[in-house]
């Protein structure tokens, strides 16, 4: 049997990990478009959850982000950072120095992540909107459901409707509340929504929208 179409598909499949490793190979973490000097919006939403300082938090796609630095300064002691890029995580570890040993680091594609324990708070700034394939979005939500405890908090930030259509050379999906809620399903209650105009290091404007959800407790328990 001639297998060339399948072979061609295998060779042309997009390598997500290689793409993001190249991004951090070619640029400083200070030059990527999503860089923030201070993650004001994320910190405000995290504080609003009023979770205890020792409850487990995961920053999905955190990579070289400085959110982990700010959370540590505010006394949160059970922090995990996940990213597909080894280089991005290495940047964060180098920046944190000895304190990096107090953080759990996961190098993984979020759609394939298997968490060793559940979290009280899941934070995602600009990962979910890169999932343009429905199967990947379903895998993300499945991982989320396996990783976030009932009653836990979900914070997702994505490009808003009317915002960028691409980022880092990749297509994205813009979101508003109904569109995101349709992806997450009925287990999540929206409790907060806010907009942000993010200025990239090159001073370009990007429209973001932030959502905070609570995962509803399992009524069978």
- The domain locations on the chain are 29-215
Neighbours of 97 (CB within 10 A): 8
Please give, one letter per residue, the 3-state secondary structure of 160-192.
ECCCCCEECCEECCCECHHHHHHHHCCCEEEEE
Looking at domain 29-215, which of 3.30.1540.20, 3.40.50.300, 3.40.50.1980, 3.40.50.150 is its CATH number? 3.40.50.150
Q: What percent of the chain has pLDDT over 70?
A: 87
**192 contacts 48 by C-beta, under 8 angstroms:** yes
Q: What is the pLDDT of residues 41-78, one digit of tens each?
A: 999 999 999 999 999 999 999 988 999 999 999 999 99
Task: Give the residue from 119, 45, 209, 220 showing the smallest Cα distance to 104.
Answer: 119
pLDDT at 10 over 50: no
What are the distances in angstroms from CA 18 to CA 23, 33, 69, 87? 9, 18, 26, 11
**Segment holding 107, helix H or strand E:** strand 104-107
**134 contacts 182 by C-beta, under 8 angstroms:** no
- State how far the Cα of 25 lies from the Cα of 23, in Å rounded to an integer: 5
Q: What is the pLDDT of residues 104-160, one digit of tens each?
A: 999 999 999 999 999 999 999 999 999 999 999 999 999 999 999 999 999 999 999
How many helices (H) and strands (E) are present in the chain, helices listed first?
7, 9
Bridge partners of 167, per DSSP, are 170
Q: What is the pLDDT of residues 146-204, one digit of tens each?
A: 999 999 999 999 999 999 898 888 999 999 999 999 999 999 999 999 999 978 767 78
**Segment holding 71, helix H or strand E:** helix 67-73
Query: Reduced to 3 states, what is the DSSP secondary structure of residue 215?
Result: strand
**131 contacts 173 by C-beta, under 8 angstroms:** yes
Start-to-end CA span in the chain (Å): 53
| Mean pLDDT estimate for the chain | 88
């Amino acid at each position: 049997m001639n297998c060339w179409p399948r072979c061609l598909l295998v060779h042309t499949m997009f390598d997500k990990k290689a793409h993001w490793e190249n991004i951090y190979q070619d640029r400083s973490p200070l030059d990527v478009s999503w860089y923030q000097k201070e993650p004001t919006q994320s910190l405000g939403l995290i504080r609003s959850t009023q979770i205890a300082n020792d409850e487990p938090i995961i920053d999905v796609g955190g990579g070289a982000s400085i959110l982990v630095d700010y959370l540590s300064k505010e006394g949160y002691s059970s922090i995990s950072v996940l990213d597909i890029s080894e280089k991005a995580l290495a940047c964060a570890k180098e920046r944190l120095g000895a304190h990096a040993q107090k953080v759990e680091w996961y190098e993984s594609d979020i759609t394939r992540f298997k968490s060793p324990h559940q979290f009280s708070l899941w934070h995602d700034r600009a990962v979910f909107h890169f999932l343009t394939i429905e199967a990947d979005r379903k895998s993300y939500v499945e991982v989320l459901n396996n990783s976030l405890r009932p009653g836990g908090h979900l914070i997702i930030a994505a490009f808003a409707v009317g915002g960028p259509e691409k980022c880092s050379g990749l297509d994205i999906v813009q979101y508003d509340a109904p569109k995101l809620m349709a992806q997450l399903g009925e287990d999540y209650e929206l409790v907060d929504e806010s907009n942000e105009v993010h200025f990239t290091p090159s001073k370009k404007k990007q429209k973001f929208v932030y959502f905070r959800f609570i995962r509803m407790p399992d009524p069978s328990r």
